[in-house]
Amino acid sequence: MRDDPMFWVAAIACLVVAGILLWGIGSFGAGADPKKANKIMQYRIIAQLVAVLLVVGFVWLRSRGAN
């Protein structure tokens, strides 16, 4: 599984989501402008959608026997 580039793409996408989440939480904690914090969370939702699609795609490809 670690040899599969799709695995690494999905893993990096998950890390990007975690990074955006931490950025957003930090913005809320620092008292940033609510509009800016809301925009950061919108970025997180988009990144999360991409990450979920990549993970589902990876699982689907692996279940079909693709390497």
pLDDT category, 67, cuts 50, 70, 90? low
- Rounded to two decimals, the pTM is 0.78
Quick check: 65 pLDDT over 80? no
The backbone torsions φ and ψ at residue 66, rounded to the nearest 5 degrees and listed phi first, read -75, 140
Cβ 47 vs Cβ 55: under 8 Å: no
Angstrom distance (rounded) from CA 35 to CA 24:
11
Residue 20 burial (CB count, 10 A) = 19
pLDDT digits (tens, 9 = 90+) for 7-45: 899 999 999 999 999 988 888 877 778 788 888 889 999
Q: What is the pLDDT of residue 66?
A: 59
